[in-house]
Amino acid sequence: MPKIVDPVERRQAVADAVLRVAAREGLEHASLRNVAEEAGLAIGSVRHYITGSSELMIFAMAELARRIDARVHAHARALLEPSPGTDRRAEVERLLAEVLPLDAERREESALWLSFVTAARFRPELRPRAAELQAGLDALIRRVLVETDRAGGLTPGLDLDVETRRLSALLDGLTLQAVQHPDLLGPDELRAVLRRHLDSLAGRTP
């Protein structure tokens, strides 16, 4: 009897292999052949899901975005649909910290995402996906600020559009520096900078 292949599991195996190769050897080495070898599949099996280099990169970006989104939105639900006794301030910090490279898994994801964003400068087919994730993160940040403002957790009168951009830029900058200089900007420093910024939005002085 021929083996029954679960297409969802096979697609996930290919996605995992793409990201492993890209993280270990760089995007330029994430070819169909290398990905097939990493996944333990025939190259024809990979081509069943991905037909070329551009599609491979788009596929990998989508998988990386899915992983990040899943974690971030789990925290978002706890904040935006709070249960009684929820510490809103702590949940805001946990939510935003989820996109920072605070551990090995998130450092690898951050490094991969920076590689994709850099590649998108020269590969137009990657730009829509990069822009989509950035827009989604900015929308989430703005919603968090709006809800926090409604709950009285921000200094009155803040321009939330400006503060959204400022917080987004802070997270991007922290991520870039932590990926480039992990020995100089570790998890404690990342949390401390984020916490100080959130305190400033709430009008708290150190």
pLDDT score of 110: 92
Give burial (CB, 10 Å; 0-12/13-18/19+) of 139: exposed
pLDDT score of 47: 84
DSSP 8-state secondary structure symbol assigned to residue 4: P
Q: Name the pTM for this structure.
A: 0.85
Instruction: Write the DSSP string, the chain.
Output: -PPPP-HHHHHHHHHHHHHHHHHHH-GGG--HHHHHHHHT--HHHHHTT--SHHHHHHHHHHHHHHHHHHHHHHHHHHHHSPPTT--HHHHHHHHHHTTS--SHHHHHHHHHHHHHHHHHTT-GGGHHHHHHHHHHHHHHHHHHHHHHHHTT-S-TT--HHHHHHHHHHHHHHHHHHHHH-TTTS-HHHHHHHHHHHHHHHTT---
Where do the domains of the chain lie, and which CATH numbers do they carry? 1-51 (1.10.10), 59-201 (1.10.357.10)
pLDDT score of 151: 87
pLDDT score of 90: 86
pLDDT score of 46: 82
pLDDT score of 189: 95
Q: How far apart are CA 198 and CA 167, in angstroms?
A: 9
pLDDT tens per residue across all 206 residues of the chain: 445 566 778 888 888 888 899 889 888 888 889 988 998 888 888 888 787 778 888 888 888 888 888 888 877 777 777 677 778 888 889 889 988 999 998 999 999 999 989 888 888 988 998 898 889 889 999 999 998 999 899 999 999 999 999 999 999 999 999 999 988 899 999 999 999 999 999 987 66
pLDDT score of 206: 63
